[in-house]
Amino acid sequence: MLGSVFGDIVGSRFEFNNILTKKFEFITDENRFTDDSVMTIAIEQAILDCCGDYSLLSQYAVKRMREFGLKYLNRGYGGRFYQWLKTPNAKAYGSCGNGSAMRISAIGYIANSIDECKALSKAVTEVTHNHEEGIKGAEATAVCVYLARKDYNIMQIEDYVETHYYHLTQTVKEIRKTKDHFDILCQETVPQAITCFLESDSYEDAIRNAVSIGGDSDTLAAIVGGIAEAYYGFPEKFRQITLDKLTEELRSVYLEFEKKFLKT
């Protein structure tokens, strides 16, 4: 979703240069889309390929992730995913990395029920991230998007996450103070991202929360951005900025997905 893509682009400048404050300029010439955006749009294309029949979604996800990943190879992929991209017919590799959650937001928009959301999330996740925590992190993210889209309030979303996925024990301020390493695992990144959303009061505030806690800033902001867009909507003032940062190919896939699933 555009909310995930914009979060990725905003966070890209701080991934290896954490800022640890909410006061920063959103977009400069240094900001660019990373692997988070490429894979988010690859999943959107896989969904479009299905034409409403999601029985082959896993196969289309593999096809499109490899296709888009190899076209945009120098965008910051993790080492094991990079090898998966470059190895024809490679199987899932037991990952619980946060890459499963950063690409999943579109699932929350196409699902017609929580159960379908979980099933479709698993279908596009287990082809690479088949560790139980990788599947869980993606599912938790997709379900948060789904619940936000269905007008659940923040307290209801928090309750669902606490009941089914994670105990959210730290505030944004506490995470910011105690984070002393670069989180790449779902079980670390996803609860922190959800907390950044839960403590927000707008889409922009959610993204600022995500960047301010440090760590894997682009992935955190991509995850948060997908949930926050579903809850608050995506600010029109950021729309053209985001589209202009994409290539023509990636932009056209997103716009086709938007036309089919987001426009009423």
What is the per-residue pLDDT across 158-195, written as a single tens digit (0 to 9) for each? 999 999 999 999 999 999 988 767 789 999 999 999 99
The pLDDT of residue 178: 84
C-beta atoms surrounding 29 within 10 Å: 6
HEC readout, 228-241: HHHHHCCCHHHHHH
The pLDDT of residue 121: 98
Quote the CA–CA distance of 114 and 238 in Å, as a whole number: 29
What are φ and ψ of residue 219, in 5° steps? -70, -45
- Backbone CA torsion sign across 7, 228, 100, 132: positive
Q: Are 190 and 222 in contact (CB under 8 A)?
A: no
The pLDDT of residue 179: 74
pLDDT confidence tier of residue 223, bands split at 50, 70 and 90: very high
- Backbone CA torsion sign across 242, 198, 188, 173: positive
Quote the CA–CA distance of 243 and 116 in Å, as a whole number: 30
Report whether pLDDT(103) > 80.
yes
Report whether pLDDT(263) > 80.
no
Q: Which token pair is 157?
A: 């979303």
Q: What is the mean pLDDT of residues 96-109?
A: 97
Q: What is the mean pLDDT of residues 60-78?
A: 97
Of 193, 199, 206, 194, the C-alpha closest to 233 is: 206
The pLDDT of residue 125: 98
Question: How many helices, marked H, and strands, marked E, lie in the chain?
Answer: 15, 0
The pLDDT of residue 45: 98
Q: What is the mean pLDDT of residues 32-46?
A: 98
Report whether pLDDT(84) > 90.
yes
68-96 in b/e form (b: 16+ CB < 10 A) is bbeebeebbbeebbeebbeeeebeebebb
Specify whether the backbone of 214 is left (phi greater than 0), alpha (psi in -120 to 50) or beta: left
Q: What is the pLDDT of residues 110-164, one digit of tens each?
A: 999 999 999 999 999 999 999 999 999 999 999 999 999 999 999 999 999 999 9
